[in-house]
Chains A and B, each alone.
Chain A
């Protein structure tokens, strides 16, 4: 798994991050303290009733074997006492039920609220990350992993794990106290014998988590491969490569099956541990209890109650092991998430700035050079160019000559370059991100569409009437295509919707850019998959409709650039 290498950068938590993770946790709890308090009270109520009903069973047996039972439970007659005992038991069960409802609706519910809080925070920060961070450290895989597995394990320490903590502490104390009230030495002995339980369980659950993660990683690789195979099924059939993919899927499936087997084998080890604990409890109970009862030092009822309590104690002790590993896992996840929440953001995207004023010179480029790294060759060097209002600039050049980078620089997306570029007389840094984006639009070479309706893909965050949408579709040469869909502009796209052809996608992304009525529009070879006649129609439309817009046009083929009044050719790499 490539995550292993990536996480070397991501895996060390600084003290600052550790503190932030804890702060995240405590703040959330503090903000909802009333709910948490009610929840904890409810868990305690449930525990008290559980212990009480177990104890009650012992008293019932004592009553049957004519032993002494607490005064409060005895009535005037034998039958009276019996009914009294019965009603107490029933009441205890009912209250237990109410208590369980109570902690679920309060404390456990916080688990879900926390997960939503964590998820919201992820995108809130990631949307402003530096491109470089996204490419190198926070790749899609890492972030998707954070949003699924880290949120999943991190959320529990806000709810369910806390239920377990209260449960363990309170139920443990109550059971032990009750046991002590029955027989001190026997209680101590069982406690000593059972200490192995939390230790072993903790160890095993740690191992289980590791195996689980390995299995999940293999599964997600396997699933990725599966979607890839389905996505290319047509091409596989045409190129006769289906067998190869089937073989790969089988191999990947087998790999996953093995990982999953390791995990399940680990999980099954809980059986001997739990069973062993039961057997040990029996040994303690029998070795002391039989002697005590037969020598009349303990009542049969106490013996039965003791048995119930020892078994009741097993749960919190096991639980303790789980809690320790759950807490550790939860906080580790929270730290990983905190790193995302506190990663540096691109200030260019969030800072305030000036409004773009009218200016004769839309773009002014002086001695612009660019290279990726210090020692690389320059992609282009010392470009000088002025773009006036309503100019139409055509850019040509071979693949890899830096056309797309140049567009990113000229549109203010890429700010690392040598030389000067000013937009309407000012530096890009002087404007706010939102102001720049209102002014400039861009159609990318690779069409990217959202899984929304056609209408929403054009309007995005704007309010646009249907008539306007149709008008824009007409300019982009897509009107007839969309009119042919059953749902028109409401047709949805994406995995579960209609598949558009490459050319249709390109025209739709063009429509999206046009809908924003930009003053400066960049078109990055965006009609390459459109047939010649349609392309020609679109070019005419653009020239006619965008009278007031300054255009920068990148194209492979010169034929596309006939409406331009300025040209720039990017040649081979400069030394």
Chain B
């Protein structure tokens, strides 16, 4: 888009994915996860099934550990062959059950987690279409992209991987503690409390780990964008001889990333082994305290073995937690960001709250003829000064009006307001003498045809590129004929079935523009906005495009934004903007006679033409 107002970009919102960003304004990890869980609502029975299966796994595992002690105590020490086999058989059966429930439980969990994630994705995709333009103006593009890609991915990794293990770990820890407490209260308490250092350690180092991980991923994506940027800009690098410069820049990015990796390596080098050591404390505890009791004869050897097996089952979960804490944290952070994102005010709520009374009727049927009236309209983008200052003008149905002015004068803003991309603070805009705020936005926009310098062309056949409303081929071809696209299609052997590549890669700029124009014609708008639609088009196509534009303009109200004055020859009237105000208005001849701003523009252009 050309001609954007720069002011609105100067207060980009703070980057909440930077590792140093403070954590105020948080809605809480857990709450946000709960918010997202509503996307899992329709699968709650499946999740319940998965959880029950995983609980069974834990119970089997603990039971198996318990009777291992019986095997030693009742089978092996008394050398009772049959008794030993009876218990051994039970152990085998339990282990088998353990395996089956674990596999089934995790499979169900994975399947429905993925479905939930897909639901979240769908929610996000529909949300991005509902957010107001003002939201996008204050967010760097990269961040919005991160929301709908990486944040969902980290949630996905958590849901499909860690969550299953976390359930296992949690159940195991609970059941093992219960088993130990019920078997030998004193020893149980000693063992469970010997886990405390490990848990506390994981808990207190978590922010450390999080910061390092975030830094690593930030630097890693910085590194990748460097490479991608240099590949895109290789022509510039080559024609300026910037090969060494690019290398030093790239190596710098690699070095930064390496530094963060090595810092993480240093941290994990001592924290991971230390956590393992702390996790073995219960085992050391059972040898010491349990061993003493065995020696004193207050505890049987079988129970001692059972306890060893319990502690083995017990510390695995903590190890898992330590290893995956960053995934879990990342998921919580992402969940929070996604929740924030999904709770951003939509266009609907922003536009409705301030401007509509509940008893107003929303207009979505009435034919719009294209009579546009601005009355003292003032508008600013969030903070900052007014971009439009008490702007008033009237464009009658069927009039062709040119908008002229330097960059940032307010002409793009004016056009955006007619399409209701933004709200305005003061004044009124009337379409057909009805307040613009009373129209349903979708309907209003469908009645406005917009043609800009860059045409939107997508990977699909030509038919779909022209209309997604299921218009019959006859009508489509009729439209093509009117704009001259049909002739171009015949010349270059295109049919409605021809596959158009992404961004129209297999088309010339002129062809793309012609498709966009035909699309507009087919949508039959009442108001037409042309934003420098003929720039960058070669002379051959320029004629065709101009002819097409003439046809489309027939009987429609037209607003033309122009940088070049020749474009304005067809205009009935010209509005000259300066710093958000209407500086001049009138026909071309009147304006020249006025010797004002437009006259100067005209002179500058003419001087150039004469010099040739």
Contact = CB atoms under 8 A, between A and B. Distances in A.
B456 A100 contact: no
Interface stretch (B20-28, B332-340, B444-452, B472-480): B444-452
A295 B79 CA distance: 7
A250 B80 CA distance: 64
B565 A246 contact: no
Interface string A127-157: 1100000100000100110011000000000
Nearest to B231: A140
A181 interface: no
Given A86-B291, A562-B608, A147 B99 contact: no
Contacts of B122: 250, 253
A126 B228 CA distance: 12
Interface string B131-156: 00100100011111100110001001
Nearest to B421: A237
Interface in A237-280: 237-246, 248-250, 253-254, 257, 260-261, 264-265, 268, 271-272, 275-276, 278-279
Contacts of B604: 532-533, 536
B250 interface: yes
B2 A104 contact: no
B494 interface: no
A180 interface: no
Interface residues of B, number: 154
B9 interface: yes
Contact of A239 (B118, B232, B280, B450): B450
B601 A533 contact: yes
A291 B91 contact: no
Interface in B311-353: none
A304 B306 CA distance: 11
Given A433-B241, A444-B235, A123 B247 contact: yes
Given A64-B304, A104-B265, A529-B535, A253 B121 contact: yes
A104 B272 CA distance: 9
Given A272-B99, A444-B236, A112 B258 contact: yes
A476 B292 CA distance: 87
A265 B274 contact: no
A235 interface: yes
A82 B293 CA distance: 12
Interface string B523-543: 100000100100111111100
Interface stretch (A4-12, A90-98, A206-214, A336-344): A90-98
B458 interface: yes
A429 to B, nearest CB: 16
B114 A279 contact: no
A536 B608 contact: yes
Given A531-B406, A561-B612, A105 B10 contact: no
B218 to A, nearest CB: 11
A499 B539 CA distance: 30
Contacts of A60: 287, 291
Interface string A486-525: 1000000011111111111000000011001000000000
A86 B288 CA distance: 7
A400 interface: yes
Given A147-B227, A253-B121, A261 B111 contact: yes
Contact of A238 (B295, B421, B458, B601): B421
Interface stretch (A22-30, A224-232, A355-363, A466-474): A224-232
A21 interface: no
Interface stretch (A114-122, A323-331, A367-375, A379-387): A114-122
A296 B539 CA distance: 102
Interface string A436-460: 1110111010001011000000001
Contacts of A559: 605, 608-609, 612
A175 B87 CA distance: 27
A261 B106 CA distance: 12
A238 B10 CA distance: 24
Given A260-B114, A437-B240, A495-B141, A104 B268 contact: yes
B95 interface: yes
Given A290-B85, A433-B241, 12 more contacts: A64-B295, A97-B273, A101-B270, A123-B247, A239-B516, A254-B118, A260-B160, A278-B95, A448-B232, A496-B142, A533-B604, A559-B612
10 contacts: A134-B234, A241-B456, A246-B125, A268-B106, A278-B95, A294-B84, A437-B241, A499-B4, A501-B1, A556-B536
Closest 4 pairs between A and B when the two form their complex, measured CB to CB: A437-B241, A399-B538, A275-B99, A562-B611
